[in-house]
Amino acid sequence: MIWIYLSIAGFAAWLVLLLLPWQPWRTREVLDSVPTSAKRDLSILTILVPARNEENVIETTLAGLKAQGEGFKVVLVDDCSSDNTLKRARNMGMPGLKILKGTPTPPGWSGKLWALEQGIRHVHTPLVMLLDADIFLMPGIINALLTKMETGIDFISLMASLRMVTFWEKLLMPPFIYFFKLLYPFSLSNRPSSRVAAAAGGCILTKTKIIKHTGGFESLKNELIDDCSLAKRVKDHSYKTWMGLTHSIVSLRAYDFASIWNMVARTAFTQLDHSLAYLLLVSAAMIIMFCIPLLDLFSGSSISAYLSGITIVIMITTYIPTLSFYRLSKLRAITLPLCAILYLAMTWSSAISFWKGTGAYWKGRRYLSL
């Protein structure tokens, strides 16, 4: 009898997710560059780039910026790199590029936010773009972002297209986007009346005055999930935010299984407010939604098997839009339960690291939950 109850619970959860009015599993919020011969004055924009040990990608990132047009400024803040990031950036000979040698991160700050705080002091244009040093912009995307902002939006963030080349990248990166959209539904985030606020720190375009009006980066200095925290502050000050997917902003960073694990474990338990109760609740929900439907197929109960079959179809239906957006085979939808269990394990790893006081390791730094 327990199998029937569990199968009903799993079916009900997926049915609710499928029928939610805001449909977080869809990929409707999209902004891409459009080919155009028209040139726009970009002198109103400064691009702020924090960089730490990015010698393998910084030239590609700056080359992508050069192709956007003319007139904008770039402030690159070296976050205590130990490689040739600065040398390779200087060798680009890029007009309007200002390179700052950052100082060591003070206590209570995360490295990236401290770099941004140092850089924002040198931004004097009406608009500022926060751009990770491993992000490549396709030609025309800045023009598309500015056009979108002219519709009355104050803060725009686009989820960069993550690298999906290796086995682990193809397996785990699409569900990373999928789960992010479930946690932060873009359609809700884009509604001024909703309390949901989402952003992806790889690329954010906003008005410079908004950064200062919302307390600057100092107000976020101890936030590990700094992008969504920034979006929340902006929205709380009654500014209009917008979040979407794109093919025109590409992450250059390569990931193996260990680096994906560390990336997720760095912030997963923080996302749950370091609450054991939330962790147990999420664990139970993930098991009921992703594991039980598969086990119920072999439970011996025809009712459970029937409900689980429908549940699996709904599960696959909600995941296919993400796979399609990134031009991956729809057959990969059958791997979602495995991916869910791996992400749950990463979340438990994040919690254990927090309880042990060791934190997570990312880009050469140990991150303790602040």
What is residue 234's predicted lDDT score, i.e. its pLDDT?
96
- How many whole angstroms separate alpha carbon 269 and alpha carbon 325? 28
**Helices and strands per DSSP (H, E), number in the chain:** 15, 10
What is residue 62's predicted lDDT score, i.e. its pLDDT?
96
CB 279 within 8 A of CB 355: no
Q: Among 204, 221, 254, where does a domain finish?
A: 254
What is residue 358's predicted lDDT score, i.e. its pLDDT?
77
pLDDT tens-digit map of 114-162: 999 999 999 999 999 999 999 999 999 999 999 999 999 999 999 999 9
151 in a domain, yes or no?
A: yes
Give me the residues of the chain with pLDDT under 50, please.
369-370
What is residue 146's predicted lDDT score, i.e. its pLDDT?
96
pLDDT tens-digit map of 257-271: 999 999 999 889 988
Is 294 found in the same domain as 221? no
pLDDT tens-digit map of 95-108: 889 999 989 989 88
CB 55 within 8 A of CB 351: no
361 in a domain, yes or no?
A: no
What is residue 365's predicted lDDT score, i.e. its pLDDT?
58
pLDDT tens-digit map of 271-300: 899 999 999 999 999 999 999 999 888 877
Is 286 found in the same domain as 229? no
Is 343 found in the same domain as 228? no
What is residue 35's predicted lDDT score, i.e. its pLDDT?
77
35 in a domain, yes or no?
A: no
Q: Among 235, 254, 273, where does a domain finish?
A: 254
What is residue 227's predicted lDDT score, i.e. its pLDDT?
92
What is residue 359's predicted lDDT score, i.e. its pLDDT?
64
Is 89 found in the same domain as 200? yes
Is 199 found in the same domain as 61? yes
Which residue stretches of the chain are H helix? 2-19, 58-66, 85-90, 111-120, 141-149, 167-183, 186-189, 208-213, 226-236, 257-265, 268-271, 276-286, 292-296, 302-325, 336-356
pLDDT above 90 as % of the chain: 77
Is 240 found in the same domain as 166? yes
- How many whole angstroms separate alpha carbon 267 and alpha carbon 180? 12
CB 202 within 8 A of CB 187: no
Is 216 found in the same domain as 293? no
Q: Which residues contact 47 (CB under 8 A, 6 or more apart)?
A: 65, 72, 73, 74, 75, 128, 129, 131
Is 8 found in the same domain as 58? no
Is 18 found in the same domain as 80? no
Neighbours of 149 (CB within 10 A): 18
370 in a domain, yes or no?
A: no
The CATH number given to whatever domain includes residue 65 is 3.90.550.10
Q: How far, CA to CA in Å, does 90 sit from each of 76, 217, 282, 351?
A: 10, 26, 47, 41
When divided into structural domains, the chain yields a total of: 2
Q: Which residues contact 299 (CB under 8 A, 6 or more apart)?
A: 3, 7, 305
229 in a domain, yes or no?
A: yes
What is residue 38's predicted lDDT score, i.e. its pLDDT?
64
Is 229 found in the same domain as 82? yes
Is residue 305 helix, strand or coil? helix
Q: Which residues contact 169 (CB under 8 A, 6 or more apart)?
A: 162, 163, 254, 255, 260
Is 248 found in the same domain as 133? yes
What is residue 370's predicted lDDT score, i.e. its pLDDT?
46
Domain that holds residue 331: 2-24+261-354
113 in a domain, yes or no?
A: yes
Is 134 found in the same domain as 164? yes
